[in-house]
Every structure is written in C-alpha cells, then in structure tokens.
Amino acid sequence: MVTRGDGLPKPSGLKKIKKKDKLAEIVPETYKNEVKEENKKNKSLGRKRGVREMRSRSKATVVDQHDIEVPETYMNEVKEEKKKNKSLGQKRGVREMGSRSKATVVVQHDIEDAADSKNNERKLLRKKKRKRDRMNTSEIGKVDEQHDYAEDASDKQNDEHTQGKKKDGKLRKRGRSTEKKKKSGIDQGNVLHDKVEDDSKEENGKSRKARSGKKGHLSSKKKEKLLEKREPAQNEIHEISSGDEDSSKGMKKWITEYHQNRPGLEILQQRIDDFMTAYGEQQEQARKEQEALAAEGGWTVVVHHKGRKKTTDAESGIAVGSVAQAAVLEKEAKKKSKTKDIGVDFYRFQKREAQRNEIMALQSKFEQDKKRIQQLRAARRFRPF
C-alpha cells in the first residue's frame, strides 16, 4: 500500500487497477451491458441525460486507461456532483448514472483491496456512520442479501471480507452527502464503494427478480429507490405481499392478536385469580414484613397523629378511607359556613387588602382586554364583511 507523503492519499482501489489486469479486462464487458441498459432508460428521460452519460462514459474510459489521471477527474466529478446536488430532479438522476458507469470500472478491484486496508481513520468514520444509521439496522440486513446477489454475479470472487466491506459501503452511502464535502481521498474511496453497490445491483437486476420469489419482498432495494425517484414507473413500485404467511406484521398479526386475547372465560378468570392471589400474597408479605420489623426489636417508631383518625390524604388533600362522600361534603360545607360567619373583612387590614385586590384585578382585566383587542386587531377580527 503506497501513500504519498503529501496531499491526498490515493484511493487504494484505483491503484489496484494496474495490478489486477484480469479484472480490468472484465470490466469493459460489464460496462457495455450497463450502457445498453441505460440507453434504454434514457429514451424516456430525454436527451439531456444522454449527453451527460456520454461524458461520464468517456471519463470512465479515461480511468480505464490511465489510472494516474483518475484522481483529478474524480475530483472534478465530485465538484460537479456538488453543483448538481443543489438542483434535484432530473439532473440528480443524471449524476447517478454517470457515476455509476464509472464505478463499474473502478470498484471491483477495490473489493480485493478491502481486506488489507487498515486505515484507522476510515474505521473511525465508519463507526460514526454506524451510529448515525443505527435506526436503519434492519436495512443492513437487507443489504446483506443484496450482497449475496452481488457475489453471485461478480465472478464469485468475493469472500467474507468483501461482504463486510460492502456493508460498510452501504453505510457510507447513506452518509455520503456529508462526506462529499470533505475532499479527502478516503472519502473518494468511500464514494467509490457506493458505486460498487449501484453497479452490482444493476448487474443483478434480472437475477434478483427471478429470485425474489424465494427471498421474498423483504429486500428493499436501494437502487430501485433511486430509480423511483427518477421515474415512478409501474414496475419500480415497492411491492408488499399479503403477509398471510407471516404473523409478525399486518393483518395476520392483528387477527392473531384478536384471537389470542380471547382464550375463553375460564382462562381469563384463572388469570385474574392468579393475579389476585399474587397480589394478595404480596400484600400479605408486606404486612408480615412490617409486623416482623415491629416484632424484631419489640418496638416501633410511633408517629404522632394529631386528633382523630386521618381521613384526608396529606399530600393531595383528598378524602381517604371509608368516609361517605356526603358526610365529607357536609363537613366541608360546615367548615366553609363557619369561616364565612367570621367574615373576611373582620379586620381593617383585610378590608383594605380586599379593596386593593379588587382594583388590581380590574386593572389587570383592563390590561388584558386591551391586549386582546390588539391581538384581535392583528387577526383582522373587526372586519365584518
């Protein structure tokens, strides 16, 4: 692994092009297929994309032939991508196409290289990304499946290592947009990884479809998603099965739950009895413990209860114990009437205070009204028609 002393470290994958001639030879073939497929789609998308694609294709050829030039072109590519990012829509689609075709060229070598790249920085990055994408862990599983396909198709060269590698690639793709901002070689590498993805998927489009019967609907396909954005054609809509064979989700689950909740009266009764017994035991236990505590030292701390037995909860002030509601109300009413008898204006200061409070209340009400009117005016509440 060679690194330059200064500047950006070269993407390792690109270097490998030179070493692995065999793969480089394979590439053009796959590439041709790719181009054909893309051309078909381009018809629907208009001329513009076609043009872009031609450009990128030529770039790809450059990569093929003179690997040294690659970083520069790639840098350009990155810049261009950034520009295009600003305007979504068709242009974005174009960029995808372009980069994908290029990826075809480069990436497969990268897979080989992946095993021996021990760049700490990169690992760190990956970790971060994992964190970010934790929510999508389910997706990763699906990605794994895709990688299976990818393996099948790419000459069965890939081993366990590459698979893991690709997984990372997938993750990276999710965070790609942030990474693009940094123009480090690592990032370039990452982006290239992404393209492995795209490419392998593209290649396996057909076989995947054939297999989808077996593997089922679960595999959510990144590439399909991208295509959807470009052309919401019928065949690219995510299909969901009826789920009749899977009771973890959907209608089947609800029906199963419905029936599970109705085991019959006896069983329900039994459950409640069990609960009540347990509850009773628990209560008993607590009581016993307390008794035991009391019995232990032969004495217990006595809390002083003032007056009669407590009938209201000290915290909430609500009546507890078996006191008839009416009795409580009556008592409260009595209490109130008693206080009323004395009167709140018994002392002069009380009178004065009451007066002041009244004026304060009036003042605050006036202020409130004024404020309200202002707000109403702002809301044009005074325009009758």
In the complex with other proteins, which residue's Cβ is closer, 33 or 270? 270
Instruction: Report DSSP state, residue 235.
Output: G
Nearest-approach distance from CB 284 to other proteins, in angstroms = 13
Nearest-approach distance from CB 236 to other proteins, in angstroms = 9
What is the rounded distance in angstroms from the CA atom of residue 157 to the CA atom of residue 147?
A: 12
What is the rounded distance in angstroms from the CA atom of residue 277 to the CA atom of residue 271?
A: 10
Nearest-approach distance from CB 273 to other proteins, in angstroms = 8
In the complex with other proteins, which residue's Cβ is closer, 37 or 228? 228
Nearest-approach distance from CB 379 to other proteins, in angstroms = 8
* Calculated CA dihedral for residues 334, 336, 339, 341, nearest 10 degrees: -70
Helical pair 21-45 and 12-19, crossing angle rounded to 10 deg = 120
Burial class (CB in 10 A: 0-12, 13-18, 19+), 252: middle
Binding site for other proteins (CB under 8 A): 85, 88-89, 92, 136, 138-139, 174, 177-178, 220, 225, 228-229, 232, 237-244, 246, 249-255, 257-258, 261-262, 265, 268-269, 271-273, 275-276, 279, 316, 318-320, 322, 325, 362, 366, 368-370, 372-373, 375-377, 381-385
Helix (H, G, I), strand (E, B) or coil at 361: helix
Nearest-approach distance from CB 255 to other proteins, in angstroms = 5
Nearest-approach distance from CB 326 to other proteins, in angstroms = 12
Residue position matching structure tokens 């409130």:
368
In the complex with other proteins, which residue's Cβ is closer, 265 or 292? 265
> Structure tokens of 312?
């209201």
In the complex with other proteins, which residue's Cβ is closer, 349 or 385? 385
Nearest-approach distance from CB 179 to other proteins, in angstroms = 11
Nearest-approach distance from CB 167 to other proteins, in angstroms = 17
In the complex with other proteins, which residue's Cβ is closer, 41 or 174? 174
- In three-state form (DSSP H/G/I as H, E/B as E, the rest C), the secondary structure along 32-93 is HHHHHHHHHHHHHHCHHHHHHHHHHHHHHHHHHHCHHHHHHHHHHHHHHHHHHHHCCCHHHH
In the complex with other proteins, which residue's Cβ is closer, 254 or 347? 254
What is the rounded distance in angstroms from the CA atom of residue 94 to the CA atom of residue 56?
A: 10
Residue position matching structure tokens 């076989």:
207
Q: Is the dihedral of CA 153, 168, 165, 60 positive or negative?
A: positive
Strand partners, 319: 312
* Calculated CA dihedral for residues 368, 372, 374, 375, nearest 10 degrees: 140
In the complex with other proteins, which residue's Cβ is closer, 159 or 257? 257
Q: How far does CA 57 lie from the centroid of its chain?
A: 35
In the complex with other proteins, which residue's Cβ is closer, 244 or 332? 244
